[in-house]
Amino acid sequence: MDLSIAAFLAQDGVTNGAIYALLALALVLVFTVTRIIWVPSGEFVAYGTLTLAGLQLGKPPGTVGLLIGMALVAALVETIATLRRREARRLPARLALWLGLPLLIAALVWWAAPRGFSLPVQILLTLAAVTALGPLQYRIVYQPIADASVLVLLIVSVAVHFALTGLGLWFFGAEGSRTPAFTGASFQLGELTFSAQSLLVVATSVVLIGALYLFFGRTLHGKALRATAVNRVGARLVGISPSFAGVLTFVLAALLCAFSGVLIGPITTVYYDSGFLVSLKGFVGAIIGGLVSYPLAAAGALLVGLLESFSSFWASAFKEVIVFTLIIPVLLWRSLATHHHEEEE
Amino acid sequence: MRIAGTRVAAIAFVLALAAVPLAAPPFWVTLGNYIGLYSIVALGIVLLTGVAGQTSFGQAAFVGLGAYTTAYLTTRFGTSPWLTLPAGLLLTLAVALALGFITLRMQGHYLPLATIAWGISIALLFGNLDWLGGHTGVTGIPPLAIGALDLKEERHLYVLIWAITLVALWATHNLLDSRPGRALRALKGGLEMAEAFGVNGARLKIIAFVYAALLACVSGWLYAHLQRFVNPTPFGINQGIEYLFMAVVGGAGSVWGAVLGATLITLLKQVLQDALPALLGRAGNFENVVFGVLMILLLQFARNGVWPWVARLLPRRTSPPVPDAAPLAARDKHARGDGALLEVKAARKVFGGLVAVNDLTFDIREGEILGLIGPNGAGKSTTFALISGALRLSAGDIVFHGESIGSRAPYRIARLGIGRTFQHVRLLPQMSVLDNVALGAYLRGRAGVLRAALRLDRTEERRVRAAAAREIARVGLSAHLHDDAGSLPLGMQRIVEIARALAADPTLLLLDEPAAGLRYLEKQALADLLRALRDEGMTILLVEHDMEFVMGLTDRLIVMDFGEKLAEGAPAQIQRDPRVLEAYLGGV
């Protein structure tokens, strides 16, 4: 291996790592605030790519159907919950939020699909559509069991992953999709070639991470989420609603995943079930950060990207095996670094 | 008669099983075979997840180890399948031990994530190793044969599969109803408590993990000889997830839940695979959507699975009276006042910048009741935790019977004869009072997993149960022997805690606020009990807030304030001590 190959692999690894980092941050965010190990995050990545691909082809993407379906279920769940609590007066406002807003987004995407808008507009539509699925998922699946143990929430997450993969096949079909590169430009630096696409991906990730940092450090909602992450009961006592925190978390997390999907589209062909492996790579990164530390999670994700890229050069058939086996020494290290706590129930 | 009722249900089940190969169409036999294979794996998950609380999505990988080992050895070297089974079990044992040592040390949710990762890794490995046939797999696996009889036909293999399934059911059922079974059931939510009675939690978790892995391996071995070829697909992560679903759907709390879950999921899958493509007009794995939604609804509305509903229809097993049995070996108790039993030597505990216990020194003398009192935040509970091993000393030492216990794990301290209760009651609410107290006698029995599974532990088990029943009678709760511990009022639960500590036959009894939540008469009864214990030679350390209770009961008192010893002496002396009055009343 000479320097130019190494540089190429490193560039590849950092690009992928930057995408995994977004995912790792989403996973840490969801876990710290809601204690949910969000396995189905990968489906949001896949939906992101496939939605953008659909818009590029001028077809209404499967996301439209998915949004309508989930909005109807969420509306049903919300109606039952509201009537049980005898708060019928609040029902119209809640239905506007859980049914009206998603339907509006779905209609907008459906209307815009055949009109061939420019790429930035299509990306915005994609982000809106996929992000809307996040809070809907929280409302339907997780909010009713928000107090369950971490393990129950995890098993539910895996069940959601199962269901969403099947739904992905139904709504998006079995064909894989690739989205065109944002830019074909590249430039030389000495002997090394850098593609503008990679730089764009890395820059986008850095900007998003910076934005998250500001959100958590400087805004009231961000601080509320942090408070919930540190102490759920305490946060509730000072007036932060846990379901509001959950919904907000899922908005942010789904947005991060949708972004990952948009960024990964030009790099690799994405199928309806590709998300799982991507999300697990995010998990390996997040676990390096103990599922709680944002900077460590991002660094871990970068490491996963590099490892993947270099192992695909040396032993491409075993690329995934190597990446997922990495989790074993990582866990060993974490288990030595943290001391044992009594299981929460 | 009622016990016979459950027997009848079990016999009816076995007869129904036996009827399938004789009378049912071949397709039923095929389904029956798969249900048996899946049940074996799901049984392991019941023990690992339902009982011990450790979740694994990676069991399919162990099935694959069993299947590929026999596939490789029989086709490459012509090894007899009866030899490849032990070979596969050994390989699985090695892999499970290695994975278990690493992942089971972690908090609960890391294990399932790790199982997903290596579940994927192992399946990918099968598919990418050329000598294992890559993605096409291995064909031409010979059938099993018993003597001259080839088990080629599914009907014949059915008998073997279900014989093994029933043995696995029986063994797992036995295991749950035994000394290691009680400890396993305590792992979920009662680890700290169990360790205080000598259970080595880390070791037991690994045992549960290995047990589940070995069952999965057996299932894989049978699978390979049923199918006569293997490829990586059925050992991937999706199948691993389905195995867990089976156990959860059926009811992971009971061995029968495994069989029920395997049956339901297998039949449902069969129906859906036929019906969904016709219904939707498209081919694809749409049954996954139904499974996923089903699981979500189940966990939202019926977290314990389907089995509890079925169990309600079956005749209830009544609890038999506990027959008396020979007493277990007991420790020598010491006569009163012949020296220090436990010495706390300049013990120190620092949390960050806070010195919770500051170079504390005192003795507990043999055969006395020593009270440890002090205002809130004085460091009493920390001191208690240091002695019981729940917290590690920052400096200093604690010596029991001349042996340093300052740096020992709680389960090793328990072995020396120190029993304790918990300030916040730590009973296993779903288990009977008898089982809870019997857990206290964990160290007085010796039966291991193997003996328990094969039911060779019955003599010892009778003695343990009789000993537990005696302690329950002694604290006056015989009427509640078979009640669920969680159904008792809090005051009684505290008394059960004391019975459990007594069942361990300690020489030193550590009681953390035993009188909290008791009514006046109950307190008097407790004081009488503790005096009687002392008169039999037991040494007791009491951390308590209730002054009246402490003053009337203890021989000596240690008063703590701000992590230091403020005063020491007889209760009457302490009551007049000006420093103590100042600490409690803020200066008079």
Domains of chain B listed by start with CATH number = 33-235 (no CATH), 340-585 (3.40.50.300)
SS3 readout for B453-483? HCCCCHHHHHHHHHHHHHHHHHCCCHHHCCC
Of A160, A167, A331, the CB nearest to B296: A160
* Residue A50 distance to chain B (closest CA, Å): 18
Task: Decide if A191 touches B, using CB distance below 8 A.
Answer: no
> Any idea which residue has 């993947």 for tokens?
A308
Determine the Cα–Cα distance for residues A117 and A55; give it in Å rounded to an integer: 9
Question: Between the CA atoms of A239, A242, A246 and A252, what dihedral angle is there, to the nearest 10 degrees?
Answer: 20
Determine the Cα–Cα distance for residues A102 and A124; give it in Å rounded to an integer: 15
Burial class (CB in 10 A: 0-12, 13-18, 19+), B180: buried
> Is B258 in contact with B247 (CB distance < 8 Å)?
yes
CA distances from B156 to A64, A109, B220 (A): 52, 59, 18
Q: For A102, phi and psi rounded to 5 degrees? A: -60, -40
| DSSP string of B518-565, one letter each residue | --HHHHHHHHHHHHHHHHTT-EEEEE-S-HHHHHHH-SEEEEEETTEE
> Any idea which residue has 């396993």 for tokens?
B184
Q: Using CB atoms and an 8 Å cut-off, which of residues 316-375 of chain B contact chain A?
A: none
Task: Decide if A69 touches B, using CB distance below 8 A.
Answer: no
> Is A23 in contact with A252 (CB distance < 8 Å)?
no
pLDDT at B372: 93
- Using DSSP bridges, classify how beta strands B508-512 and B395-400 pair: parallel, antiparallel or unpaired: unpaired
Of how many residues is chain B composed? 588
Measured at the CA of B161, the angle between CA B158 and CA B166, to 5 degrees, comes to 120
Give this prediction's pTM. Answer: 0.89
Determine the Cα–Cα distance for residues A180 and A110; give it in Å rounded to an integer: 21
Q: What count of other Cβ atoms lies within 10 Å of the Cβ of residue B149? A: 9
The answer to whether the Cβ–Cβ distance between A335 and B109 falls below 8 Å is no
- The tokens for A321 are 């095996």
The answer to whether the Cβ–Cβ distance between B113 and A317 falls below 8 Å is no
The answer to whether the Cβ–Cβ distance between A156 and B295 falls below 8 Å is yes
Going residue by residue through chain B, which has 588 residues, state the pLDDT in tens, using 9 for 90 and above. 445 667 888 888 888 888 888 888 889 999 999 999 999 999 999 999 999 988 899 999 999 999 999 999 999 999 999 999 999 999 999 999 988 888 777 666 778 888 888 888 888 889 888 888 888 899 999 999 888 888 888 888 999 999 999 999 999 999 999 999 999 999 887 888 999 999 998 899 999 999 999 999 999 999 999 999 999 999 999 899 999 999 999 998 889 999 999 999 999 988 888 888 778 777 777 888 888 998 899 988 888 888 988 888 887 777 777 888 888 877 776 655 568 889 999 999 998 888 899 999 999 998 899 999 988 888 888 999 999 988 889 999 999 988 898 888 888 999 999 999 998 889 999 899 999 999 999 999 888 899 999 999 999 999 999 999 999 998 889 999 999 999 998 888 999 999 999 999 999 999 998 888 888 888 888 999 999 999 888 999 999 888 888 888 999 999 998 889 988 999 988 888 888 888 777 654
Which residue does chain A place closest to B101, by CA atoms?
Answer: A332
- Using DSSP bridges, classify how beta strands B145-146 and B149-150 pair: parallel, antiparallel or unpaired: antiparallel
Query: What ipTM score was computed for the predicted complex, to two decimals?
Result: 0.88
Q: Which residues of chain A neighbour B286 with C-beta distances below 8 Å?
A: 166, 169-170
Task: Decide if B235 touches A, using CB distance below 8 A.
Answer: no
> Is B27 in contact with B274 (CB distance < 8 Å)?
no
Helix (H) or strand (E) holding A189: strand A186-189
| DSSP string of B152-188, one letter each residue | -SHHHHHHHHHHHHHHHHHHHHHHHTSHHHHHHHHHH
Where exactly are the structural domains of chain A? 3-173+195-337
The answer to whether the Cβ–Cβ distance between A162 and B124 falls below 8 Å is no
Q: What count of other Cβ atoms lies within 10 Å of the Cβ of residue B274? A: 11
How many Å separate Cα A330 from the centre of its chain?
22
> Is B583 in contact with B374 (CB distance < 8 Å)?
yes
Question: Between the CA atoms of B72, B78, B80 and B86, what dihedral angle is there, to the nearest 10 degrees?
Answer: -30
